[in-house]
A and B are shown apart, each in its own frame.
Chain A
Amino acid sequence: MADKAATVYVVDLGASMGQFHSGRTESDLDFALRYVWDKITDTVMNGRKTDTVGVVGFRTDGTDNSLMQDPSYQNIKVLKPLGQCLLPDIRNLQKEFVPSGTDEGDGMSAIVVAIDLISSYCRHLKYIKKIIYVSNGTHNMDPAGFEDIIAQLNELKISLTVVGVDFDDEEYGFKEEDKSETKAANEQLFKTFCSSLTDGRGVYATCAEVIETLQIPRMKQVRPVKTFNGVLTLGDPEDLENSLIIDVEQFPKIMQAKPVSASSFAVATGDGVVKDEEGDAGMEQVRADRVYTVEEENGKKKEVEVEELDRGYMYGRAIVPINASDREITDFNASPGLEIVGFIPKAKYERYLCMSNCTQIVAKKDNPKARLALSSLIHAMYELDHYGLGRFVASTNTKSKKSPVMCILVPSISPDHECLIKTELPFAEDVRHFRFPPLDHVKTTSGKVLTQHRLLPTPELQSAMDDLVDSMDLMTAGTDDDGNPCEYAKVEDVFSPLYHRINQVIKYRAVHPDEPVPPPHDILVKYSQPPKELLEKEDFEKAHEAVLQAAEVKKVPPKQKGFGKVREQPKPLSGLDIDALLNAEDPDVQKQTKANTVSPTNAIPDFKRALENGDENTDITTLSRSFLGVIEEVVKESIGDSGYERAVEMMAVLRSELIDYDAVEIFNELLNGFKKRLTGGEFGGDRSDFWEVLRKKRLGLIKESEGEGVGVGEEEAKAFWEV
């Protein structure tokens, strides 16, 4: 939480740290730094001034520390004094974090320097104090004063984490072969050292282990913030004699962690890191300025100032101005509070009715009587398997204008915490009554109910699906800390992929400004697939095979093209063959089909029908040209943009039908002509705004990707939009 922290990293920069060990392709230093960088960049990510960082290097080429008069503190450098770590510090440290030319310098002394840094920075103030010591332990250590250092750490309540490259760790299961005697002695020394610290403040770990844990995201701790302070009532709040009133508070329970948000910058070229608010490297912050315009009678836009405008609302198309003095006229002023409307049996509540994130209602902490009262309610509801139906009015939220909301109150009891979980319920206005046909039977148009149909599963499919569901059970697919089976993917195990992904890349880019963005950590995509172990089980394989067999799911083949193949003749509910009826008897239709024209008042149906009834002899070009003529007329006649949507609708039909009828070239040629006439001002002046509309709706030249090989390339299609 928001406690102040002082962390000093003591980093071994000796020449031996530049060597490669245990078959790694990176030096000991780079290996160890992975851990150090992750911790430091994490701290920077939090962006808190009071989360301070210091760095001490030892076995360095030079010496720079406050105790340097003493010869035993040579080759120890304070690389960063305690303080908030910012990006320039990171850049500095990057330069400093290179193996030196020496192996001289004592780790123990470096720890003393770190203690000194902390004690003079924190003085008597309350800090979480930590030293993180990173080394490969290959140098001679001076164990003198060992006891004193332990005593000092204990006294100052500084915790020490020793992370050693290739240190042996039985628990983790790592043992380095051919270990030098010096290193073995050092490891032993640190083990003793760490275990001598009180209250578990000493931690000894091998580097490989801590690196493995790096990708487990660290969660931001948020202090619970009260969102409501008032009373819970049952009965009329005015009638104290006959009502039940409890002092309560509300806190968030579930609150979506939003990824850090980016701000926009304008930049001419390039990427990299730029300085804040100084417009460095041609970068400047982008602001969104608001411009208000009104349309005048002649269809022209006029810019107006905010001061010239009044507030108001729309009621349908009617404009309803509201005077400043009547600003609150539409507000609903209910008195704040949480009221219980009644109690609902748990079995009658559908989980999917929950509309909002959960909050929790607790009694006021310092009001024991209220706590007893609420506790009795929670337990009574719990024992009777009932939920509360509530009406909630927030206390100070001006945004919601003291509007009541309905909510469900669910008793929650754990050994050390009791509360009511509160979630909003939908109002009548929040429900969309879309109707869906039943899944388990099919009703024919004549009203007959079928239980065997291509839309219904066969008994084989059903039984195979049952087996599949059993075989993919997650209730025992996980492993708990003791290695026993447990529920897989519990809430506490699954981290927000996007949230941590963005943190990951920011941290990475801060340290590696010139490298490409790394792939997401495995743990962030772990739950995107079923657990491997599950899929390797025999019963899964069997059920899986059986479902595939019985379900016979097939991808819908791509549409057929050309005359007579495009689509089935649409039929009304009666199944009447409309086209036969029409062609046989309606002379109008026949005439029009022959003439390859469409009428302006019924252009889309005419065009579709002519194509549908056409054959190899149909002159698609003439027909399409006639249709395009109608479109052009609409654009020409349009007052302002009044006719544009209609033209767009027809253009879209022309385009998609010509794709279906394998006439891509015809469309592209026609659109070319259309563009020429449009830019030539033939459609009643400047119609470049219509061209912009077509572009937005992506109604341009048909591309190869759309026309199955026929059409223009991406580049040409893009270039076509340039006027």
Chain B
Amino acid sequence: MSDWSKNEDRDISDDEDTVEADSDQYKSTRDAVLFAINISPSMLTAHDVSEEEEHDGGEGGEQSSGKKKKKASKPVSAAKVALQCAFQVLQQRIISNPNDMMGIMLFGTEETKFPEGSSYKHMYMLLDLDVPDAPGIKQLKRLVEDEEEWDRICKPSKEKASMANVLFGANQIFTLKAPNFQTRRLFIVTDDDDPHANDPDLKRSAITRARDLYDLGIKIDPFYISNPGQKEFDPSLFFEDIVYRSADADEDEAPLHLKPTNDGKLRLKEMIRNINSKTTAKRALFSNTLEIAPGLKIGVKGYLLFKKQEPQRACWIYSRSEELHVAKLETVRTGATTVREVAKTEIVKAYKYGGEQIVFTPDEIANIRKFGDPIIRIIGFKDADTVKVDQNVRSATFIYPSETEFVGSTRTFTALWTSLRNKKKVGIAWQISRRNASPILVAMVPSVEEIKDGVQLAPPGIFLVQLPFADDVRNDPDMGGSLVAPNPLIDAMRKIVRQLHIPTGYNPDKYSNPALQWHYKILQAIALEEDVPETPEDGTVPKYRLIRKYSAPQIADWAQVLDECSRDLGVFAIREAPASAGRKRATEGGGGPAAKVAKTDSSDPVALETDVRKHWEKGMLMKLTVKVMKEFLKLKRVEAGGMKKAECIEAVEEWFEKKG
């Protein structure tokens, strides 16, 4: 499709994080998802929806004690929710997986509409399996929004659709429309746990057809729905005979099962969340060997769990024919002087040096870049707090054990993971993530599983955080000496920080990328010939009202202290500040040189300082605990993060030597 935009002339080292692992080198790295949604009277029965509140209160403790939005939701049927959900997934995938396919078929409908023929009775192909196009999206949108349309299409048939037909129909669709895709998944959404209870032949036939899908590498992901007030869905009656799971340790576990709340309501949000999280095909970035110590190798797979999602690049469009066409870009290598086309085999790499080119053959280049085979080799362990936040290079990768190469990998990995967590340690490893990748050092940071509402927020495993090399650390800008705020000002600021704290931390799921969404919203409107929206939504803007409500007096206090402090210290701005900046707070016009201000000592716990000083004078710092020294250092604003006792003593001595 529009892969061409990625087809730029790039250095091998550049795209380390964009190439997915080529376990099946002949497969195209695309994904196809086909929804099969059961349309039966029970699936169409409307149920009350449970009021699922956001438990953690979102923004800020004190901030959020205000009101919560309450939406009175209308009763809704499972089939409708499934389709709404499919529509959402569709829109998401256009952004996140622009080359991947999706399709929706309904089964159990009165009307039969199936590309493979009318023998597929009571099956209705709603959205062809393909990269979604405008008419398809429009039709789906209408179905979800328009009641009449809904009633027309979603009319249940008197007899059930044959599950064998559903499965074989899916087989044909995948085979023809999504051949050779790396992942192909069939999502069956149903509340019918035994579709052919009275017909063993049909049941056996369905089991056979399910096995065909397995042989084709098509994964069935069923989504069981237990209806409120009905007997719970029993997967063992039929579905466990058609669903296969590989024995691989990193595979997902059980199929999804949506159960009603105790008071008989549908968990709408959970359904949407679950389906959403299932639709991303789990692809490994690399398979590699983790060498914990010499001779102790286990298998791991690497995943990229955080990757910046950018809008797809613009393309070139040819509009001088009947239909619009996207132009494909090909690069042709030509000689700059001879203007002849150059074959790949003729090309050598050269580096500019001393005004000339130093040439290497392709073999030499390969040899120069090679630092050995792919490996993640632990060279030792460090305290967890040595992995500072100011040393980040790029997003971390995640590793999880795999038994494919080495039996026993999972238990060994788990033992390591447990040790790291218990001891608050990280592994330091030399990593060559794949063939020809340049070596890096990584810190292995264990993560603990965190599940909320059935969604795994944090996975159990180990994150590999790339450590910078000495060459990657830039010098600090020259500030001409430090200028430290006096304590009263810091104290005033502390009050503000306290007022505005968000106790739950940062949850990415709460912050949608406004620019990305806006980009696609505009494109969607143009593509579907709808009105172009005028103002974008932006959930990243701070909650000004709440900030004012909770911290305006504190900010005023702080500003006053700042004014006093700068007066006392004889501080004047040298240059006029830009118009927007600090008309009030930060700057004031005026002349005169900047004064260097020495920090005044904290008058707080005098006792602590006296005590430490006494020990220092006697040369008895060894007697103090690390905690006391760290407290002291903190008081004196000396970074004491990962310090060992010896380092603490040194730092304390240094401080006294300086300050006397």
Contacts and interface: CB of A to CB of B under 8 A. Distances in A.
Contacts of A430: 306-309, 508, 513
Contacts of A424: 308
A231 B583 CA distance: 11
B148 interface: no
Contacts of A260: 351-352
Interface-centre pick from A246, A256, A432 (highest chain B CB count, 10 A): A432
A256 B474 CA distance: 9
A294 interface: yes
A431 B282 CA distance: 12
Given A224-B476, A292-B316, A358-B391, A434 B430 contact: no
Contacts of B333: 264, 266, 286-289
B518 A353 contact: no
A429 interface: yes
A582 B461 CA distance: 41
Give the interface residue-count category, chain B: 35 or more
B461 A436 contact: yes
A338 to B, nearest CB: 11
Interface stretch (A17-25, A165-173, A342-350, A683-691): A342-350
B325 interface: yes
Contact of B319 (A310, A551, A601): A310
Determine chain A's interface SS by DSSP, over half rule: mixed
A313 B312 contact: yes
B349 A321 contact: no
B243 A434 contact: no
A344 to B, nearest CB: 5
A649 interface: yes
A419 B476 contact: yes
Given A428-B508, A473-B381, A570-B244, A404 B538 contact: yes
Contact of B277 (A85, A86, A272, A433): A433
Contacts of A402: 515
Determine chain B's interface SS by DSSP, over half rule: mixed
Interface stretch (A67-75, A181-189, A499-507): A499-507
B500 A343 contact: yes
B316 A311 contact: yes
Contacts of A83: none
Contact of A356 (B394, B509, B585): B394
A474 interface: yes
Nearest to A217: B471
A232 B460 CA distance: 37
B381 A472 contact: yes
A544 B406 CA distance: 18
Contacts of A384: 494, 497-498
A314 interface: yes
Contacts of B515: 332, 334, 400-404
Interface in B144-170: 168
Contact of B513 (A289, A428, A608): A428
Interface string A337-365: 00111111100111111111110101001
Contact of A339 (B25, B303, B542): B542
Contacts of A365: 477-480
Interface-centre pick from A291, A342, A440 (highest chain B CB count, 10 A): A342
B321 interface: yes
B132 A317 contact: yes
A85 B354 contact: yes
Contact of A357 (B372, B393, B502): B393
B71 to A, nearest CB: 20
Contacts of B212: 602, 605
A196 B576 CA distance: 50
Contacts of A671: none
Contact of A367 (B137, B245, B304, B575): B575
B411 interface: yes
Interface-centre pick from A224, A246, A272, A530 (highest chain B CB count, 10 A): A530
B404 to A, nearest CB: 7
A586 B95 CA distance: 45
Contacts of A153: none
B552 interface: yes
A397 interface: no
Contacts of A665: none
A314 B280 contact: no
B296 A551 contact: yes
Nearest to B308: A430
A544 B532 CA distance: 65
A652 interface: yes
A422 to B, nearest CB: 9
Nearest to B495: A380
A448 interface: no
A473 to B, nearest CB: 6
A286 B337 CA distance: 9
Contact of B407 (A231, A386, A554): A554
A310 B321 contact: no
Interface residues of A, number: 258
Interface string B337-379: 1100010001111111111111111001101110110000111
B607 interface: no
Contacts of B305: 431-432, 434
A304 B327 contact: yes
B332 interface: yes
A264 B309 contact: no
B359 A274 contact: yes
Interface string B527-557: 1000010001010111110011001100110
Interface string B294-324: 1111100001111111011011111111001
Nearest to A429: B309
B581 interface: yes
Contacts of B252: 435, 437
Interface in B236-270: 236, 239-245, 249-254
Contacts of A348: 503-506
A487 B326 contact: no
A566 interface: no
B606 interface: no
Contacts of A529: 377, 379, 430
Interface stretch (A98-106, A128-136, A450-458): A450-458
Contacts of B75: none
B407 A436 contact: no
A609 B215 contact: yes
Given A316-B131, A428-B513, A439-B410, A244 B482 contact: no
Contact of B548 (A86, A239, A389): A239
A633 to B, nearest CB: 14
Interface in A261-290: 261-268, 271-276, 279, 283-290
B419 interface: yes
B621 to A, nearest CB: 16
Interface-centre pick from A311, A329, A551, A646 (highest chain B CB count, 10 A): A551
Interface-centre pick from B24, B393, B517 (highest chain A CB count, 10 A): B393
A203 interface: no
A576 interface: yes
Contact of A649 (B180, B380, B542): B180
Contact of B490 (A352, A354, A379, A417): A379
B653 interface: no
Contacts of A554: 406-408
B280 A497 contact: no
B395 A379 contact: no
Contacts of B416: 465, 469
A426 B508 contact: yes
Contacts of A219: 470-471
16 contacts: A235-B544, A265-B348, A267-B347, A289-B333, A310-B318, A330-B523, A351-B396, A356-B392, A370-B577, A372-B489, A373-B585, A403-B515, A435-B277, A484-B646, A494-B467, A498-B439
Given A242-B556, A288-B9, 12 more contacts: A234-B500, A264-B349, A275-B356, A312-B317, A316-B527, A356-B392, A423-B392, A433-B455, A434-B305, A469-B423, A528-B372, A553-B412
The 7 A-B pairs at the shortest CB distance, nearest first, are namely A348-B505, A403-B515, A87-B354, A646-B179, A332-B515, A474-B380, A380-B493
